[in-house]
Amino acid sequence: MLRSFACMLAMFLAFVAPAEQSVNPGINRAYENADFDRWQGIFERDGREVWDRRDDIIRHLRLRPGQRIADVGAGTGFFSMLMAEAVGPEGRVYAVDITPSFVAETEQRAKNQGLNHVVGIVNDPHSTRLPVDSVDLVFISDTYHHFEYPQSTLRSIYEALTPAGDLVVIDFIRIPGFSSPWVLNHVRAGEPEVIAEIEAAGFSLVERLDFMRTQYYLRFSKR
């Protein structure tokens, strides 16, 4: 009887709970019907810090053969390619992006390189659409500030990770007087706010690396 009442109460609360509001409406509008070649020239260029430091970033991820990785906000897929090489054919890399052309081109790019263990997923603003318990590591580079609905997206990441899974987030340092005007106008939250949001979603900060000038590297474990 008490169990039935508890179930009914949970269903009622879920029904009446207010829907999560977008924290940045329209932030992803530029990626609708995006041209892959154009964005590849923007994402994969010298001077972009995550591109210049991509080998260092992969080294800090400490990937192992056989791991299952999700590159969330994979964009043109250059990190997905590097991860696929690191985990080997016995592993798997999910290239997750909200832009269908990015996902299709990344899958084709992987096939052209013989990396048949790269699987594309077109996600939506509320979810990564990753299967439950499907990955050992979720990697988010320059994409967290593009989450329109961070609570629900983080919930889907939490569910997708194995119990011992980790979440790595790289994003822009946002400090007035230090950060560029573009960052201050485009990136909605600084590092403290990002950490607070992710920890509220059930994660614990376990590592912070300071090897980039304009960006931070955070690693969280699943509580």
Q: What is the pLDDT of residues 141-157, one digit of tens each?
A: 999 999 999 999 999 99
Q: Could you tell me the CATH number of the domain that includes residue 78?
A: 3.40.50.150
Tens of pLDDT, residues 160-182: 999 999 999 999 999 999 999 99
Expressed as residue numbers, the domain containing 97 is 34-222
The number of domains in the chain is: 1
Evaluate whether residue 16 is within a structural domain: no
> Has residue 66 been placed in a domain?
yes
Q: What share of the chain has pLDDT > 90, as a percent?
A: 87
The answer to whether 217 and 195 have CB atoms below 8 angstroms apart is no
Which H or E element spans position 56? helix 54-61
Domain presence at residue 63: yes
Q: Which of 74, 69, 115, 62 is nearest to 92 (CA)?
A: 69
> Is 215 contained in some domain?
yes
pTM given for the model: 0.90
Distance CA 48, CA 26 (A): 24
Q: Is residue 18 part of a domain?
A: no
Q: What pLDDT does residue 2 have?
A: 47
Residue 21, domain member (yes or no): no
Confidence of residue 59 (pLDDT cuts 50, 70, 90): very high
Residue 96 is assigned to a structural domain of this protein:
yes
**127 pLDDT band (50/70/90 cuts)?**
very high
Domain membership flag for residue 9:
no
Q: Looking at residue 3, what is its pLDDT? A: 52
Distance CA 199, CA 189 (A): 15
Q: Which amino acid is at 154?
A: L
